[in-house]
């Protein structure tokens, strides 16, 4: 047997090291993806970190989006998971970056049918050349929208008159309280009802509840990432079987607050959280809500 020369050994060692480097680089650069969301999903709450983004199914590979989060890459990963190719409409609940920050990049990359915002969202922050409608509600008039053939949306908040919205001028509380509150019926053989609440705080929730509007829904998107300031009145009024909480893992705000999660547990409401499960897909099957979590 011929002995390996020092030169050959050096070449072999170099080749092995080069192969290991290539394999390591491949592991770091390859995008790992979970299995796609189930084909029959009706609603998806996207994991966009400390922000909000929610998909309402309107057709094959089509959806409407409620908020965008502030990370386009996170939002795009959710759209890919949901296998969405077109957005019929985008709703922006209010003018905080964690709810609309990815809108411009989204509009550059996805065809968007229409943009709906709170009446108190500054249109200057909307992408150019996109159809925009600003929404408000009142005791006398509740706007209703149809998305495709199977999705119905009722706009329950905010009022058009800013003086009716709690919060000091220029404060974060006031902006939170301008959030769109939407009651959504997602069709199909078995419709799923969802109440989504943006970052509405307790004071505004009290004013919303003072008007005679039906808020009951099988699913509640808990307001303001489950912050303590969102209160529990909306949770009680919705009588939901499932609560969705969108919050970033290890966020600095302490969201969701233990007072909120304890209240949900005490009242027998199941909870699904993006900080624990990643993106969350819902489908009503046999009159029960099937929950698919991106991260098991």
For 274-289, what is each residue's pLDDT tens digit?
999 999 999 998 889 9
Is residue 151 classed as helix, strand or coil in its secondary structure? strand
Please tell me the CATH code under which domain 36-293 is placed.
3.60.15.10
pLDDT band (50, 70, 90) for residue 79: very high
Over the stretch 30-74, which tens digit does the pLDDT of each residue have? Answer: 333 468 999 999 999 999 999 999 999 999 999 999 999 999 999
The Cα–Cα gap between 58 and 76 comes to 18
What local confidence, expressed as pLDDT, does residue 20 receive?
43
Q: Which residue has the tokens 């009651």?
A: 183
Domain residue spans of the chain: 36-293
What local confidence, expressed as pLDDT, does residue 189 receive?
75
What local confidence, expressed as pLDDT, does residue 16 receive?
43
* Dihedral angle sign, alpha carbons of residues 271, 274, 275, 276: positive
Q: In the predicted model, what is the mean pLDDT of residues 209-226?
A: 94
CA atoms within 13 A on the CB side of 206: 6
What local confidence, expressed as pLDDT, does residue 211 receive?
86
The Cα–Cα gap between 240 and 234 comes to 10
The pLDDT of residue 166 is above 90: yes
What local confidence, expressed as pLDDT, does residue 118 receive?
98
Which one has a higher pLDDT value, 6 or 265?
Answer: 265
Give the residue among 189, 167, 159, 151 at the shortest CA–CA distance from 66.
Answer: 151
What local confidence, expressed as pLDDT, does residue 57 receive?
96
Angle at 219 between CA 162 and CA 249, to 5 degrees: 85
Least confident interval from 20-34, 122-136, 169-183: 20-34
The Cα–Cα gap between 20 and 8 comes to 18
What local confidence, expressed as pLDDT, does residue 148 receive?
82
pLDDT band (50, 70, 90) for residue 295: confident
The pLDDT of residue 187 is above 90: no
The pLDDT of residue 204 is above 50: yes
What local confidence, expressed as pLDDT, does residue 5 receive?
58
Name the helix (H) or strand (E) containing 263: helix 258-266
The Cα–Cα gap between 13 and 150 comes to 63
């Amino acid at each position: 047997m011929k002995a390996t020369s020092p030169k050959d050994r050096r070449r072999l060692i170099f080749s092995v090291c080069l192969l290991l480097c290539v394999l390591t680089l491949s592991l770091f650069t390859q995008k790992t993806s979970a299995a796609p969301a189930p084909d029959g999903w009706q609603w998806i709450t996207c994991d966009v970190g400390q922000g909000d983004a929610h998909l309402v199914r309107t057709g094959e590979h089509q959806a409407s989006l409620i908020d965008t989060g502030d990370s386009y890459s996170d939002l795009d990963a959710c759209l890919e998971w949901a296998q969405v190719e077109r957005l019929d409409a985008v709703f922006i609940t209010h003018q905080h970056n964690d709810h609309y920050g990815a809108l411009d990049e989204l509009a550059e990359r996805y065809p968007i049918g229409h943009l709906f915002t709170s009446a108190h969202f500054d249109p200057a922050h909307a992408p150019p050349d996109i159809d925009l409608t600003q929404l408000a509600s009142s005791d006398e008039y509740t706007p209703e929208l149809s998305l495709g053939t199977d999705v119905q949306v009722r706009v329950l908040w905010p009022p058009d008159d800013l003086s009716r919205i709690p919060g000091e001028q220029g404060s974060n509380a006031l902006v939170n309280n301008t959030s769109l509150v939407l009651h959504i019926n997602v069709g199909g053989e078995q419709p799923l009802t969802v109440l989504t609440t943006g970052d509405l705080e307790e004071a505004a929730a009290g004013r919303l509840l003072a008007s005679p509007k039906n808020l009951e829904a099988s699913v509640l998107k808990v307001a303001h990432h489950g912050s303590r300031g969102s209160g529990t009145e909306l949770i009680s009024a919705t009588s939901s079987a499932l609560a969705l909480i969108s919050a970033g893992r290890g966020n600095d705000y302490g969201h969701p607050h233990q007072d909120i999660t304890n209240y949900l547990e005490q009242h027998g409401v199941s909870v699904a959280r993006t900080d624990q499960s990643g993106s969350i897909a819902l489908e009503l099957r046999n009159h029960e809500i099937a929950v698919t979590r991106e991260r098991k």
